[in-house]
Structure 1
Amino acid sequence: MIEFVVIGLVVLCASCLQGSIGFGLGMIAAPLLVLVRPDLIPTTIILLAINISVFAFLRERHNVDWSMVLWGSIGRIPGIIAGTIAVATFSQTGLSLTLASIVLIGVAFSLIGWKPAPHRRNVVVAGLFSGLFGTSTGIGGPPIALVMRSVEASAARATISAYFVVGSLMSLTGLAIGRQLTLTHVAYAAAWAPFMIVGIALSSIVIKRASTRALHALAAGVAVLGALFVIGQALVS
Structure 2
Amino acid sequence: MSHEQLMIAAMTVALAAFVQGASGLGFALIVTPVLMLMQPDLLPVCVLILMLPLNAYVAWRERHALNMRSVGWVSLGRFVGTFGGLAVLVVLSAQAMAIFVGASTIAAAVVTWFIPAFAPGIMALVAAGLITGITETATGIGGPPLALTLQHRPVAEMRATIAVCFIVGEVISLVFLFFMGKVQASHLQATLILLPALFVGMFASRFVHSRISARVMRFFVQAFAIVSGLVLLVKAF
Output the TM-score relative to the length of structure 1: 0.96
Identity in percent: 28
Is the partner of 2:116 in helix, strand or coil?
Answer: coil
| Alpha-carbon offset, residue 116 of structure 1 | 4.0
Alignment of structure 1 residues 191-202 onto 2, 5 Å = 191-202=193-204
Q: How does 1:132-147 map to 2 (within 5 A)?
A: 132-147=134-149
The answer for the alignment partner of 1:76 in structure 2 is 78
Match of 1:179 in 2: 181
The equivalent of 1:87 in structure 2 is 89
Question: 2:110 corresponds to which residue?
Answer: 108
Q: Among residues 18, 21, 28, which one is paired with 1:19 in the alignment?
A: 21
CA shift digits 1:8-30 (9 cap, x unpaired): 10110011111111111111110
1:2 and 2:9 are equivalent in the alignment:
no
CA distance in 1: counterparts of 2:56 and 2:41, whole angstroms: 25
Amino acid corresponding to residue 27 of structure 2 in structure 1: L
Match of 2:214 in 1: 212
Which of 42, 45, 53 is the matching residue for 1:43? 45
Equivalent residue for 1:165? Answer: 167
- Give unmatched runs, 5+ long, in structure 1: none
What code does the residue aligned with 1:226 have? S
Q: Distance in 2 between matches of 1:114 and 1:193?
A: 37
Deviations along 1:85-131, one digit per CA (max 9) or x if unpaired, are 21123101111111111111111111114334221110000000001
Q: Distance in 2 between matches of 1:225 and 1:34?
A: 14
Alpha-carbon separation, structure 2, partners of 1:116 and 1:144: 13
RMSD over aligned CA atoms reads 1.1
* Contact 2:22-2:212 at 8 Å conserved across structures: no
* Code of the aligned partner of 2:113: L
Deviation at 1:76, TM superposition (A): 0.8
Q: Which runs of 5 or more residues in structure 2 are unaligned?
A: none
Q: In 1, Cα distance between the equivalents of 2:110 and 2:117?
A: 13
| Count of paired positions | 235
Separation of aligned partners in 2, 1:146 and 1:116: 10
Partner of residue 226 from structure 2, selected from 224, 227, 235 = 224
TM-score (norm 2): 0.96
1:152 is matched with which residue? Answer: 154
* Residues in 1 aligned to 2:208 and 2:99: alpha-carbon distance in whole angstroms: 32
* Structure 1 residues 108-158: Cα deviation after superposition (integer angstroms, max 9, x where no partner): 111114334221110000000001000001100000111101100001101
Asked if structure 2 preserves the Cα contact closer than 8 Å seen for 1:20 and 1:206, the reply is: yes
State the distance in 2 between where 1:116 and 1:88 align: 36
Equivalent residue letter for 2:132: S
2:30 to 28, 31, 51: 28
Who is 1:52 aligned against?
54
Residues 142-200 of structure 1 deviation map (CA, whole Å, 9 limit, x = unaligned): 00111101100001101101111111101111211222111111111111011000111
The one-letter amino acid of 2:149's match is V
